[in-house]
């Protein structure tokens, strides 16, 4: 049990395995409040009081921003839950055991965090001699810690170990989708919820992507994958749906915009040691002859020094089978080694071990997709009107494709729910 604000500050400063939580917004603000409280308790000079009050306001503000003004204990323990450290990485990597010294350090940190989570605003003010400051400061509520931090130390350690083993570590336990930007892996808080069961048609090409991904997750040989073909056929949706289907098995997706391909070595450095499986997703891929990122991707796929790590695959989508745009002038121009130029245009796609083709459906397949979507939405009682309307919709909206079918069904469902006719 913590008996003074000085002890609280020292205990927080002495965290070892979970020291990383001090870099997170709420714990950092709370630690600043404790340090300011120590100075205020030692000396009631106006500058120390002012510093303490500023720290109080800052802490309460960030606590409210995170939505935890009613449960400080949950906020602090949840932050620890998503910390990436030696213990969480060992568990996520399915190691059999950890050294006893680390185990004892984790148990101590669990105790310290649990005790810090019980500190009330009244305790802080009393310790600082500010109970009668007359400012009516905002108070937070302690609440309850997350379930994994409840109980005895040994139980908590076991529960945390199992949690990391099942969910991964650090931000990869909290999020499933990420994007590469400014040489950082940034989490996507609200990823596309697309599921495989919602994608209609294309069972054969989609099964190839599924089988490759499952093999990858099982530690079996798997290939980089190029999903290419006509627009609106579900190439990108397939990758997003794979994430939502298999993230519970350790799959994570990092979207890397094409213009950042030169950063690939930096991304590799950040994920190589993470005990998770990553798909590096490059959407809508194609290159011009003068595009410098072409050589970067070619090097990544085969033969570069900064090769992709064993825990990562590259999945790319493109409307083109041959990713480097080839002009007639490339075939008929004045290049002395014309065949080499043509082969260069074709070589990048060949470096993907698996190339999956998605083509536009014919009328029968298109109407089959419309029917399946209608059953999914519960409006199959209007199939004759839906089929007729879908064909008309496709004529106006660029032809038959799964995307066009989805857009029409969304329109039709909305109209039917409002009691409007489809024609």
Residues in the chain, total: 423
CA separation, residue 345 to residues 11, 321, 325 (Å): 62, 10, 7
Task: Output the pTM of the full model.
Answer: 0.81
> Are 324 and 290 spatial neighbours (Cβ–Cβ below 8 Å)?
no
Q: What percent of the chain has pLDDT over 70?
A: 87
Confidence at residue 58, expressed as pLDDT on a 0 to 100 scale: 97
Per mean pLDDT, which range of 28-42, 94-108, 209-223, 255-269 is the poorest?
Answer: 255-269
Per mean pLDDT, which range of 16-20, 97-101, 298-302 is the poorest?
Answer: 298-302
What is the tens place of the pLDDT at every residue in 327-342? 444 545 544 444 554 4
Long-range contacts formed by 117-126: CB under 8 A, 24+ apart: 117/72, 117/73, 117/76, 117/77, 117/142, 117/145, 117/149, 118/2, 118/73, 118/142, 119/2, 119/8, 119/72, 123/5, 124/5, 124/33, 124/34, 124/37, 124/56
- The model's confidence at residue 263, banded by pLDDT at 50, 70 and 90, is confident
Contacts of 375 (CB under 8 A, 6+ apart): none
Confidence at residue 337, expressed as pLDDT on a 0 to 100 scale: 45
User: pLDDT at residue 287 above 80?
Assistant: no
Structure tokens at 269: 């450095």
Confidence at residue 96, expressed as pLDDT on a 0 to 100 scale: 85
Distance CA 233, CA 205 (A): 11
Confidence at residue 345, expressed as pLDDT on a 0 to 100 scale: 47
Distance CA 341, CA 324 (A): 11
User: How many helices and strands in the chain, by DSSP H and E?
Assistant: 18, 7
Confidence at residue 220, expressed as pLDDT on a 0 to 100 scale: 94
Distance CA 288, CA 274 (A): 34
Structure tokens at 136: 């009516």
Beta carbons within 10 angstroms of residue 327's beta carbon: 11
- The model's confidence at residue 288, banded by pLDDT at 50, 70 and 90, is low
> What is the DSSP code string of 61-125?
HHHHHTT-TT-HHHHHHHHHHT---HHHHHHHTT-S---HHHHHHHHHHHHHHHHHTT--HHHHH
User: pLDDT at residue 80 above 80?
Assistant: yes
> Are 313 and 282 spatial neighbours (Cβ–Cβ below 8 Å)?
no
Distance CA 162, CA 62 (A): 30
Q: Work out the angle at residue 269's Cα, subtended by the Cα atoms of residues 266 and 271, and round it to the nearest 5 degrees.
A: 115
- The model's confidence at residue 299, banded by pLDDT at 50, 70 and 90, is low
> Region 4-29: what's the mean pLDDT?
96
User: pLDDT at residue 131 above 90?
Assistant: no
What is the tens place of the pLDDT at every residue in 141-192? 999 999 999 989 999 999 999 999 988 899 999 999 999 999 999 999 999 9
SS3 category, 422: coil
Average pLDDT, the chain: 87
What is the tens place of the pLDDT at every residue in 47-61? 889 999 999 999 999
Structure tokens at 132: 């009668």
Q: Work out the angle at residue 415's Cα, subtended by the Cα atoms of residues 414 and 416, and round it to the nearest 5 degrees.
A: 95
Distance CA 174, CA 189 (A): 9
Distance CA 88, CA 320 (A): 42
> Are 163 and 148 spatial neighbours (Cβ–Cβ below 8 Å)?
yes
């Amino acid at each position: 049990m913590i008996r003074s604000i000085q002890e609280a500050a020292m205990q927080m400063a002495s965290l070892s395995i979970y020291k990383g939580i001090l870099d997170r917004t709420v714990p950092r603000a709370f630690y600043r409040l404790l340090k300011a409280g120590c100075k205020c308790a030692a000396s009631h000079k106006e500058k120390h009081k002012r510093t303490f009050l500023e720290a109080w306001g800052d802490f309460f503000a960030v606590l409210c921003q995170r939505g935890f003004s009613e449960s400080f204990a949950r906020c602090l323990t949840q932050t620890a839950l998503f910390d990436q450290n030696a213990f969480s990485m060992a568990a996520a990597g399915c190691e059999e055991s950890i050294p006893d010294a680390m185990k004892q350090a984790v148990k101590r940190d669990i105790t310290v965090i649990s005790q810090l989570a019980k500190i009330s605003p009244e305790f802080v003010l009393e310790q600082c001699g500010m109970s009668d400051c007359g400012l009516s400061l905002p108070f937070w509520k302690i609440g309850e810690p997350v379930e994994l931090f409840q109980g005895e130390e040994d139980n908590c350690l076991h529960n945390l170990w199992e949690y990391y083993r099942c969910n991964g570590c650090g931000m990869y336990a909290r999020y499933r989708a990420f994007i590469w930007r400014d040489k950082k892996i940034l989490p996507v808080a609200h990823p596309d919820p697309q599921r495989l069961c919602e994608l209609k048609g294309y069972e054969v090409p989609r099964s190839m992507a599924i089988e490759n991904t499952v093999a990858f997750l099982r530690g079996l040989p798997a290939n980089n994958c190029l999903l290419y073909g006509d627009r609106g056929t579900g190439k990108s949706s397939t990758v997003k749906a794979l994430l939502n289907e298999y993230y519970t098995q350790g799959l994570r997706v990092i979207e890397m915009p094409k213009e950042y391909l030169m950063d690939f070595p930096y991304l590799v450095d950040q994920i190589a040691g993470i005990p998770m499986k990553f798909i590096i997703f490059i959407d809508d891929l194609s290159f011009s002859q003068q595009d410098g990122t072409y050589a970067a991707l070619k090097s990544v796929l085969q033969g570069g020094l900064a090769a992709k790590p064993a825990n990562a695959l590259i999945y790319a989508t493109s409307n083109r089978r041959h990713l480097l745009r080839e002009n007639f002038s490339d075939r008929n121009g004045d290049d002395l080694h014309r065949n080499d130029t043509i082969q260069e245009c074709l070589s990048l796609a060949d470096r993907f071990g698996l190339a999956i083709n998605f083509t536009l459906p014919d009328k029968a397949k298109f109407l089959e997709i419309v029917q399946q979507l209608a059953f999914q939405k519960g409006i199959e009682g209007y199939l004759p009107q839906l089929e007729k309307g879908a064909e008309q919709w496709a004529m106006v909206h660029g032809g038959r494709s799964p995307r066009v079918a989805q857009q029409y069904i969304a329109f039709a469902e909305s109209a039917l729910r409002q009691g409007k006719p489809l024609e």
